[in-house]
A and B are shown apart, each in its own frame.
Chain A
Amino acid sequence: MEELFTLTVILYFLSILAVLPLRKNYRVSIRAGHVLTGLASISLLAFTIGALPEVLKGKAIEFTYNLGVAKIPFHVDGLSLILCLVLGSLGLATSIYSPRYMEFYERFGRGWLYVVLYSTFVLSMVLIVTTSNLLWFVFFWEVMTFTSYVLMVWENDEEYVRKAGWKYFVTMHVASTLPLIIALAMLYAKTGSIDGLNFDNLATLHLGSLYYILFLIGFGSKAGVVPLHFWLPDAHPAAPSNVSALLSGAMIKVAVYGLIRMTCFILRPTETFGYAVAILGTITLTVGTLYALKQTDAKKLLAYHSVGQMGYIWLGVGAGIALMAKGGPWAAFGAIAMAAGLYHLVNHAIFKGLLFLSAGSVLYRTHTRELNILGGLAELMPLTALFTFIAAMSIAGEPPFNGFMSKWMIYQGTFLSGNGLLVFCGVMALFISAATLASFVKFYTTAFGGVPTALTENAEEVPASMLLGKGFLAALCLLFGLIPSSIIPLLLAPGKTLTGVDLSGWISTKYWLVTIRAPRMPSGGETYFNPWLLVGVLGVLVVAMLISYPNRPKRVVKVWTTGEPVKHEHYKLRAMHYYGPFEEYIHGLYHSGEALSDWGSSVCSTTVKGYLTLGRTLLRWAEKVERSVSSAGRWYVENGKEVYLDEAVASPFIQLITGLGIGLEEVSLNYDLLLVIAAAVLGLIILILVGW
């Protein structure tokens, strides 16, 4: 099986090599690069499907790349495979979509560099979720952070893009990479070798609660969990839409992977930690989505929803960790709750990817993403409208789309947990589901509903390749919604490995029927859902009504304006006016959120400033020392009798030491002074080292 994985890695490297000779031609280089990344994604998907039977048996695929100087061990289990599926499908969709979309950015040139970064970015994520050594994990993590930063600031002639990118770069290094490196350093100190950092070896250690906190901060900031989310709504919209799709669809999911891998597989799941994750998730989904509600910039709205939906994933995973740690019959139910969180992870990757690609399509044709001035695109871009509608209903959690299935399972996992706190989290999740619906009704109807505006009237459908990329994701939205059994067994694999419990009595999937049992449930109380039957009933009813009351517009007249001569554009609610009274009611939240975000960015900028000041001071000191040493050297050279090269280099130090020796002879009995001088010299050396 690992051959297909190796093929994926090779294809990504090939795409980097292939564009290097094509640097002159922007379009050809991007096209060639994406053909290869598309093939790589297909190969990754093939690997995922091929590895599935093994993984479902509870086995993992293990192999090692021996690079001569270093060995990279890999361990692909159910959890890794879920992320491989996400990266493969999203990678394929963006590879199909991007060649035409990137024409939009032709003025920036450097298509080859884009492909190099894209491939490195996706490949680094693939390697993160498959490697089984912490050192390599952190190394690929940093590669991912760096390449995503450069891709994010692609449109670097815009002030806000540079600012957002900088915010991202600093936040990620302070709040994500730093905690991971501290954890890595501490674990390295414990194990003493690089091989000792292999996950299976780390799992045998007894590690304290500090590691939970380090991983929570490190992965939480990458996942955009409140209060470390402030970088995300600026950063994700700044990138080109295809990259935004990968950032929101895949990159923040890798953080969830990291969280589960580190805190459940290497550390042990604990109840307290589970509740912490669930509560953070609930806060995140509430804050993120309520903020999204008032956005009118299409991509910013989507980015805030990424924060919000991330909250759902954390809630599911957190409830899962807490219940698994509780043990007994709850362990099995915890595995289901975790599977619910992972289900939402996969689904969010798909529909959020699709939504970003749709926002990109609108941007591609209308050159704007401001919902206030868009309108009427359903008439001009019918297929884009259809795909956007599917994605919007998926994220709003409407049956029979995929978002509903995962949200439904998250509700089961929280409401049936028998724990007041988790039930409250579930209540908030239900409420926020309505807020998500509100937001996406707005997103869809402002851009696609109504009559075309002056800005959009000349828009036309996007090219076929872009539609194909989106259509693929839309099909997946339907597949994972209508046939839950296509994915649920895989999603249950991590929980099964962690608990070692047979789940067949608790959850069963038969093609399209899902049945869930919880502990303490009365007989005949298990919940079930059959999406096909729902679609069947709905379909029969709609068709029956359409036959009885055929829908053929014979008389089409203008809308009723109560007799007033009003222009079309003045007779529609703008995006900013949607849900006004509700937003007014919760303005306290927005206000405190803004205060918090100001505080966050001030902390961020103070950190940066502090770091820069420190660096500058150290440099100045180092310069001074250097100058004095070199001037002493120059003095010696100018005044010395015979000068050789080696003597010129070494003489200042010799002179210094001789001088010190003479001085010390005088004070040879004064040990205190000796110590002070020694300490001063040591301090100087450290200062110089740090400064350089």
Chain B
Amino acid sequence: MEGYERITFSFIAVCLILFLPPLLDGIARKIKAKVQLRQGASIFQTYYDIMTFLSMEPVYPTERLSFRLAPYIAFASAVSAALVLPYGKVIPVSFTGDIFVFLYVLAMVSIAYMIGGFSLNNTYTNTGANREMMIMLSIEPVLGVAIGTFALNAHTLRMGAIPFAVTFTVSVLLAYALLAYSVYVEGGFIPFDVAEAEQEILEGTFCEYSGYLLGIFKWALMIKRFALLWLLSSFISIPPIRNVANGTLGGALILITQLIVLFLLYAGIAVIESMNARLRIDHIIRKNAGVFLCSLAVLALAALGW
């Protein structure tokens, strides 16, 4: 029974990781269109886009290996990171349970994006890569404070264990807000999408990618967003039902709650996105630094046990 449960949940997880992100993107596009009083494309449009890209032979601007392998690395890292998250009570491939390893593996998506962008003599790809790094730099301390608060409260760094062990205090509630903010910024949602800004810098690094390389890369980025939001959704959905969710059925209950929260989060994000315009990179840095300085108060609260 144990084994079957594991296999079933893992299979569902892999399907979710690979095939749900384009649908989420399609739904978000539809919501944005509706908010902006546009008709909008079908919610399956992102699938059609990805499939079109994947069917086309790419044109290369260089034969450099670092450029050619970047999309594959990005894809593999995004999927690997998503595989260590809890789906129900099952972790599909548990090479770790630790939140830092998850974040570092997920960061490899960004690294692939940067190495790909910087390995060319093209100001547009360089600028995209440059901005990606600066966003990461400015949001990392906020994320750190959120994790630090959880660690002080729950005494563990295991993603599957924190939502089960966390006790709700003021600092933990604020840490949720910080985590949500970090996830939003790391995910590169509007107004923080400066690294892949289409109209401004020709989509940054994507400017030189085409065909299935572009398709794989875009897919990887969507999976990265999915992984970040799945982490947040797990943190939100498990604590309220952790006492009732026992056995296989409990696992299924958690999985369904995770999915519902994920959809709600994505819809909320789409609404925020539709009502905002892209920020400038220096504004983003200033904003994140401000959030970090405020977040130190959260850490102080957590240290006091509040």
Give chain A interface residues in 410-445, CB to chain B under 8 Å: 411-412, 415-416, 418-421, 423-424, 426-428, 430-431, 433-435, 437-438, 441, 444-445
B104 adjacent to A399 (CB under 8 Å): yes
Is the CB of B154 closer than 8 A to any CB of chain A?
yes
Residues in A with CB closer than 8 Å to B154 are 522, 525
B156 adjacent to A556 (CB under 8 Å): no
B155 adjacent to A522 (CB under 8 Å): yes
- Inter-chain CB contacts under 8 Å: number: 251
Measured in the bound complex, the distance between the Cα atoms of B83 and A546 in whole Å is 20
- Least CB distance, A95 to chain B, in whole angstroms: 31
Is the CB of A584 closer than 8 A to any CB of chain B?
yes
Give chain A interface residues in 336-385, CB to chain B under 8 Å: 375, 378-379
A397 adjacent to B104 (CB under 8 Å): yes
- Least CB distance, A432 to chain B, in whole angstroms: 9
A415 adjacent to B138 (CB under 8 Å): no
Measured in the bound complex, the distance between the Cα atoms of B255 and A58 in whole Å is 49
A534 adjacent to B80 (CB under 8 Å): yes
Residues in B with CB closer than 8 Å to A585 are 282, 285-286, 289
Residues in A with CB closer than 8 Å to B5 are none
Q: Which of A201-209, A276-284, A575-583, A658-666 contacts B (4 or more CB under 8 A)?
A: A575-583
Give chain A interface residues in 595-651, CB to chain B under 8 Å: none
Query: Binary interface profile of A, 507-550, with partner B (CB < 8 Å = 1, else 0)?
Result: 00000000000101110111111111110111001100110010
Closest to B57 in A: A554
Is the CB of A560 closer than 8 A to any CB of chain B?
yes
Residues in A with CB closer than 8 Å to B137 are 431, 434-435, 438, 579, 582
Decide: A557 near B60, CB < 8 A? Known: A420-B300, A420-B303, A545-B76: yes
A525 adjacent to B158 (CB under 8 Å): yes
Give chain B interface residues in 53-68, CB to chain A under 8 Å: 54, 57, 59-64, 66, 68
A551 adjacent to B69 (CB under 8 Å): yes
- Least CB distance, A90 to chain B, in whole angstroms: 26
Query: Binary interface profile of B, 279-306, with partner A (CB < 8 Å = 1, else 0)?
Result: 0011001100100000010011011100
Residues in A with CB closer than 8 Å to B83 are 537
Give chain A interface residues in 543-592, CB to chain B under 8 Å: 545-546, 549, 551, 553-562, 568-569, 571-573, 577-579, 581-582, 584-585
Decide: A559 near B299, CB < 8 A? Known: A404-B104, A534-B80, A541-B76: no
Residues in B with CB closer than 8 Å to A450 are 118-121
Measured in the bound complex, the distance between the Cα atoms of B71 and A545 in whole Å is 10
A520 adjacent to B155 (CB under 8 Å): yes
Give chain B interface residues in 111-136, CB to chain A under 8 Å: 111, 114-115, 118-127, 129-130, 133-134, 136
Q: Which of B24-32, B140-148, B226-234 contacts A (4 or more CB under 8 A)?
A: B140-148
Is the CB of A265 closer than 8 A to any CB of chain B?
no
Measured in the bound complex, the distance between the Cα atoms of B119 and A399 in whole Å is 21
B141 adjacent to A530 (CB under 8 Å): no
Is the CB of B190 closer than 8 A to any CB of chain A?
no
- Least CB distance, A28 to chain B, in whole angstroms: 40
Decide: A525 near B68, CB < 8 A? Known: A404-B104, A560-B208: no
B76 adjacent to A582 (CB under 8 Å): no
B299 adjacent to A423 (CB under 8 Å): yes
The tally of residues in A whose CB lies under 8 Å from a CB in B reads 81
Among the listed B68, B107, B155, B157, which residue makes an inter-chain contact with A553, where contact means beta carbons less than 8 Å apart?
A: B68
Residues in B with CB closer than 8 Å to A430 are 100, 140-141, 143-144, 147
For the complex, would chain B's binding face be called helix, strand, loop or mixed by DSSP majority?
helix
- Least CB distance, B114 to chain A, in whole angstroms: 5
- Least CB distance, A330 to chain B, in whole angstroms: 12
Is the CB of A398 closer than 8 A to any CB of chain B?
yes
Measured in the bound complex, the distance between the Cα atoms of B98 and A522 in whole Å is 14
Closest to A545 in B: B72
Q: Which of B40-48, B89-97, B246-254, B260-268 contacts A (4 or more CB under 8 A)?
A: B89-97
A418 adjacent to B152 (CB under 8 Å): yes
Closest to B140 in A: A434
A445 adjacent to B96 (CB under 8 Å): no
Is the CB of A139 closer than 8 A to any CB of chain B?
no
Residues in B with CB closer than 8 Å to A435 are 137
Measured in the bound complex, the distance between the Cα atoms of B95 and A562 in whole Å is 44
- Least CB distance, B53 to chain A, in whole angstroms: 10
Among the listed B105, B118, B138, B212, which residue makes an inter-chain contact with A549, where contact means beta carbons less than 8 Å apart?
A: B212
Measured in the bound complex, the distance between the Cα atoms of B121 and A568 in whole Å is 6
Measured in the bound complex, the distance between the Cα atoms of B155 and A601 in whole Å is 45
Residues in B with CB closer than 8 Å to A398 are 104, 107-108, 111
Measured in the bound complex, the distance between the Cα atoms of B126 and A445 in whole Å is 10
Is the CB of B165 closer than 8 A to any CB of chain A?
yes
B105 adjacent to A534 (CB under 8 Å): yes
A408 adjacent to B100 (CB under 8 Å): yes
Measured in the bound complex, the distance between the Cα atoms of B96 and A399 in whole Å is 12
Measured in the bound complex, the distance between the Cα atoms of B156 and A415 in whole Å is 9
Residues in B with CB closer than 8 Å to A451 are 121
A433 adjacent to B140 (CB under 8 Å): yes
A572 adjacent to B105 (CB under 8 Å): no
Is the CB of A449 closer than 8 A to any CB of chain B?
yes
Closest to A581 in B: B282
Measured in the bound complex, the distance between the Cα atoms of B107 and A526 in whole Å is 23
Residues in A with CB closer than 8 Å to B300 are 420
Among the listed A379, A420, A527, which residue makes an inter-chain contact with B156, where contact means beta carbons less than 8 Å apart?
A: A527
Residues in A with CB closer than 8 Å to B245 are none
B61 adjacent to A526 (CB under 8 Å): no
Decide: A416 near B77, CB < 8 A? Known: A530-B95, A560-B61: no
Measured in the bound complex, the distance between the Cα atoms of B114 and A561 in whole Å is 19
Residues in B with CB closer than 8 Å to A569 are 121
A579 adjacent to B119 (CB under 8 Å): no
B76 adjacent to A416 (CB under 8 Å): no
Residues in B with CB closer than 8 Å to A582 are 134, 137-138, 285
Can you list 22 A-B pairs with a CB-CB distance of less than 8 A?
A: A375-B121, A404-B104, A408-B98, A416-B151, A416-B155, A420-B303, A427-B147, A444-B115, A450-B118, A524-B160, A527-B96, A530-B96, A549-B216, A556-B63, A559-B61, A559-B120, A571-B121, A572-B126, A573-B123, A573-B126, A582-B137, A585-B282
List chain A positions with a Cβ less than 8 A from chain B: 375, 378-379, 397-399, 404, 408, 411-412, 415-416, 418-421, 423-424, 426-428, 430-431, 433-435, 437-438, 441, 444-446, 449-451, 518, 520-522, 524-534, 536-538, 541-542, 545-546, 549, 551, 553-562, 568-569, 571-573, 577-579, 581-582, 584-585
Known: A418-B152, A536-B95, A560-B202. 20 other contacts (CB 8 A): A398-B111, A399-B101, A399-B105, A408-B100, A411-B100, A416-B155, A423-B152, A427-B147, A430-B143, A437-B133, A521-B156, A522-B156, A522-B165, A528-B98, A538-B76, A542-B72, A549-B212, A572-B121, A579-B137, A582-B137
